[in-house]
Chain A
Amino acid sequence: MNDGDVEVFLSLVERHRRYLYNLAFRITGNEHDAKDVVQDSLLNAYLHLEQFEQRADLRTWLNRILVNCALDHLRARRRRPDLHDPQPISDVVDSVVSSSPDPERLAVSADCRRQITEAMNTMSPLERVTFALRHFEGCSIDDIARTVGIGHNSAKQHIFRAVRKIRVVLEAHRSGR
C-alpha cells in the first residue's frame, strides 16, 4: 500500500467520519476519547482492508471496528482511572431543558446531566457499549451481540444491568428533588 492508497481510503471514509465520531462520542462520553477511538478504528480499518467483504456495507464494517476499539479504550481507561476525566455527556437530558435559559431549570438539568454521567461511569465497558448501541443508536440486541462478539443473552443482561444503574441514579435524583 502506498500514499495514494491512504488518500483513497481517507476519502472513502470521510463521508462516514461524522457518524463514527458521534457514535464514539456517545459511547465514550467525551470528545477527547472519541477522537482517539475514531483514529484507532480508522487505522485498524486501513490495516485490515483485505478483510472487508465486498458484499458488506462499509459503514457497518467501520461501525463494528469502532465499537470494538471503543470497548478496548473503555477497558484501558478503566485500568487507568487517574487518566479518566471525561467531560459530562452534553445534553443527555434535553427533554428537561427549557428552550429559555431559565436559571433554575438549567441548574436542574446540569445536575441531572451530572447524575447520568456518573451512572454511565459506573457501568462496565460492555454495559456502556451495549446500552449506548441499544438506547442511543437503536440497534437490536441481535445486532449488538454480533457487533460486540458476545451471545444474545449476554448482550441482553448487560443492557438490563446498565438500565438498572441508570434507574438507580436517576430515580434517586428524582425522588430527592
Chain B
Amino acid sequence: MSHLSDDDLVLHYYGEDGPRIVAAERHLRSCAQCARAYAGLARTLDAVTPPEFVEPADDALAIRQLIRDRLSGQPAPLGVRRWLWDGDVGVVALVWLVPLVYPWSLQTLVSSARWAQEHALFVPLAALTLIWACAGPCVAVFALNRMVADRGARTSTRLLVAGALIAAISPALFLFVSRVSVSLSLNVGLWSWYGAIVMGAVAALFRWPNRFSSSRRFSYVHRISALVLTVFVLGHVVNQALAFISVPAYTSMRGVMRVASHQPVLYVVIVAAVAIQIATGAAMGMKNVRAGAVARNLQAVSGWYLAAFLLIHVFSGLFVSQPQAATTTATAVNQLNLLATPRAAASLPFLLLGVAAFLFHVGVYARLAALAYLAEASVRRLSYAGALVGATVVVTVGLALFGIHLIR
C-alpha cells in the first residue's frame, strides 16, 4: 500500500475511510512515516475539544414575541430608513419597479444609440441604458440575497420572489408579450405588458406549495439534459461571437446549424432537453435560494432567465405566429444593427442576457462542483479566468449585435 495522504489520514482519524479502514490501520502500523504524520494530526485535532456546555440564555420571551410579530405581520419597531432598507418593503418595491419601467429602458436605449451613432460623446450613455435594460437579473439576485427564509409563508416574501422572477425575466417576457400582442393583433400597446405584471402580482397573493423537492435523481436528470443542451447552446454562442469576426463565416455556420437543428430527431432531442431542464429546474429552483447564498441565488436567477429564454427561443414557433422568431440573429446581422428600430432593440437585452445567463449558470455550477475536488484558492483563480472568458464572449456577442463586424 502506498503512503496515506493527509486527506486519508483525516478520514482515518474520523473513522470515515469505510472498507479501507483495516488496510489503513495495518499500513499505519508498518509505516513509520505515515504513523508519525498521523500522530501529529491526531495530536492537533485532539487539542480542538468542544467548547464547554453553555447554559442557554433565557430568551423564551423574545422567541414568543418574535413569532407573534411575524404572525401578525408587524415588523419589529425600527426607524423608517431601516424599515425600508432592512425590511422587505424597499426590496419588494425595487423588484416590481424594474419590470414597470422596463419598456422605457428600451426606448432610452434606442434613442441613446442613435445619439451615439451621431456623436461618440453619447456612447457611455448608450452603454448605461444597456446596463439599465439588462439590470433585472442583478436586481433579482440582490433581492433574493435579502429574502427572509420563510419559503413563501408571508405575502411579502411571495411578492419579493414573484417580483424577482419577473424582474429577472423581463427582457424575455417583454419580447414574448409583444409577440403575442402582435400575432393576436391586440393593439393595446404597453397595457398587455402591464397586464402580465399584474397577473404575476396576483399570483403572489395566493399561497404557493411549500414543498420544493430536490432529489438526487432530479439533479442527475437536470445535469444530463443540461449536457445535451450545452452542446446546442455553445454552438449558438460561438456562432454569435463569430458574427463579430466575420459575417460570411457566421452565415455559413448558421446555415449548417439550422439544417442540423431542423432534423426531426435532433429537434425532438433539443425540445425534450429544454422541457426536462425547465421541469427539473422548477422542482429544484427554490430549494437553495436563501439570503446570503450569492452563488446559489445567481444559479437560480440565471436558471429562471435561461428557462424563459429557451422557452421563447425554442418553442416560439409552436405557439406564436412569428416567422422571424428563430431568425432574430440573422435579422440583426443582415440589418447590421439591432438598434435600428425599437422593435429590434427589444431583442438586444434578450439575447445578451441569454448568453450571460448560460455562462453564469454553467460557470456557477462548475465552480460549486470544483469546490468538491480542488482547493478554494485554485477554484477562485479558475473562477476569475472563467469570468474573464465569459465577459469577453458577452462583449464580443454584444459588438456583433450592435452591428460591428471585422469582416462583412
Q: Which residues of A are in contact with B by a Cβ distance under 8 Å?
A: 1, 3, 6-7, 9-10, 14, 17-18, 20-22, 25-26, 31, 34-35, 38-40, 42-44, 46-48, 50-51, 68-69, 72, 75-76, 79, 89-96, 112, 116, 124, 134-136, 140-141, 149, 151, 153-154, 156-161, 163-164, 166-167, 170-171, 174
Q: Are B57 and A31 in contact (CB under 8 A)?
A: yes
Distance of A35 Cα from B63 Cα, bound (Å)? 10
Q: Are A47 and B47 in contact (CB under 8 A)?
A: no
Query: Interface-forming stretch among B97-105, B288-296, B307-315?
Result: B288-296
Q: Is the interface of B mostly helix, strand, loop or mixed?
A: loop
Q: Are B292 and A79 in contact (CB under 8 A)?
A: yes
Q: Are A140 and B48 in contact (CB under 8 A)?
A: no
Residues from chain A with a CB closer than 8 A to the CB of B153 are 47-48
Distance of A10 Cα from B59 Cα, bound (Å)? 11
A51-B210, A92-B48, A161-B375 are contacts. A75–B293 as well, Cβ < 8 Å? yes
Q: Are A94 and B372 in contact (CB under 8 A)?
A: no
Q: Does B118 contact A (CB under 8 A)?
A: no
Q: Does B6 contact A (CB under 8 A)?
A: yes
Which residues of B274-304 have CB atoms within 8 Å of chain A's CB atoms? 287-288, 290-293
Distance of A147 Cα from B287 Cα, bound (Å)? 13
Q: Are B290 and A90 in contact (CB under 8 A)?
A: no
Distance of A149 Cα from B289 Cα, bound (Å)? 12
Most A CB contacts (10 A, CB to CB) among B7, B47, B66, B373 go to B47
Contact of A76 among B16, B62, B151, B291 (CB under 8 A): B291
Q: Does B406 contact A (CB under 8 A)?
A: no
Q: Does B78 contact A (CB under 8 A)?
A: no
A10-B64, A92-B48 are contacts. A50–B376 as well, Cβ < 8 Å? no
Contact of A14 among B11, B40, B53, B60 (CB under 8 A): B60
Q: Are B59 and A135 in contact (CB under 8 A)?
A: no
Residues from chain A with a CB closer than 8 A to the CB of B290 are 68, 72
Distance of A22 Cα from B373 Cα, bound (Å)? 31
Q: Does B45 contact A (CB under 8 A)?
A: yes
Distance of A124 Cα from B294 Cα, bound (Å)? 14
Q: Are A25 and B51 in contact (CB under 8 A)?
A: yes
Q: Are A166 and B60 in contact (CB under 8 A)?
A: no
Distance of A43 Cα from B62 Cα, bound (Å)? 11
Distance of A39 Cα from B31 Cα, bound (Å)? 50
A79 → chain B, closest Cβ, in Å? Answer: 7
Q: Are A43 and B45 in contact (CB under 8 A)?
A: no
Most B CB contacts (10 A, CB to CB) among A35, A47, A154 go to A47
A10-B63, A43-B67, A153-B373 are contacts. A25–B45 as well, Cβ < 8 Å? no
Q: Does B371 contact A (CB under 8 A)?
A: yes
Of chain A, the residue at the smallest CB distance from B66 is A43
Q: Does B56 contact A (CB under 8 A)?
A: yes
Contact of A92 among B7, B49, B63, B291 (CB under 8 A): B49
Q: Are B44 and A171 in contact (CB under 8 A)?
A: yes
Of chain B, the residue at the smallest CB distance from A35 is B57
Distance of A163 Cα from B42 Cα, bound (Å)? 11
Q: Are B10 and A160 in contact (CB under 8 A)?
A: yes
Q: Are B288 and A149 in contact (CB under 8 A)?
A: yes
Most A CB contacts (10 A, CB to CB) among B41, B56, B150, B376 go to B56
Q: Does B70 contact A (CB under 8 A)?
A: yes
Distance of A120 Cα from B353 Cα, bound (Å)? 39
Contact of B10 among A40, A69, A136, A163 (CB under 8 A): A163
Q: Are A38 and B56 in contact (CB under 8 A)?
A: yes
Distance of A153 Cα from B287 Cα, bound (Å)? 20
Residues from chain B with a CB closer than 8 A to the CB of A153 are 372-373
A17-B56, A76-B291, A91-B49 are contacts. A43–B63 as well, Cβ < 8 Å? yes
Distance of A34 Cα from B64 Cα, bound (Å)? 17
Distance of A22 Cα from B51 Cα, bound (Å)? 9
Q: Are A46 and B6 in contact (CB under 8 A)?
A: no
Contact of B40 among A94, A95, A171 (CB under 8 A): A171
Distance of A51 Cα from B151 Cα, bound (Å)? 11
B91 → chain A, closest Cβ, in Å? Answer: 15
Distance of A16 Cα from B375 Cα, bound (Å)? 37
Q: Does B211 contact A (CB under 8 A)?
A: yes
Residues from chain A with a CB closer than 8 A to the CB of B293 are 72, 75
Contact of A161 among B59, B291, B368, B376 (CB under 8 A): B376
Of chain A, the residue at the smallest CB distance from B11 is A156
Distance of A94 Cα from B292 Cα, bound (Å)? 34
Q: Does B188 contact A (CB under 8 A)?
A: no
Residues from chain B with a CB closer than 8 A to the CB of A35 are 56-57, 59
The 8 closest A-B pairs by CB, nearest first: A75-B292, A21-B56, A154-B372, A153-B372, A136-B50, A91-B52, A47-B153, A170-B44
A48-B151, A75-B293, A154-B372 are contacts. A22–B71 as well, Cβ < 8 Å? no
Residues from chain B with a CB closer than 8 A to the CB of A124 are 376
Distance of A135 Cα from B291 Cα, bound (Å)? 27
Q: Give 20 new A-B contacts, CB below 8 A, not counting A94-B52, A161-B376, A174-B44.
A: A9-B67, A10-B60, A18-B55, A31-B54, A35-B57, A39-B62, A43-B63, A47-B153, A48-B150, A72-B149, A76-B292, A89-B51, A90-B51, A92-B51, A136-B50, A149-B288, A156-B16, A163-B10, A164-B6, A171-B44
Distance of A95 Cα from B44 Cα, bound (Å)? 11
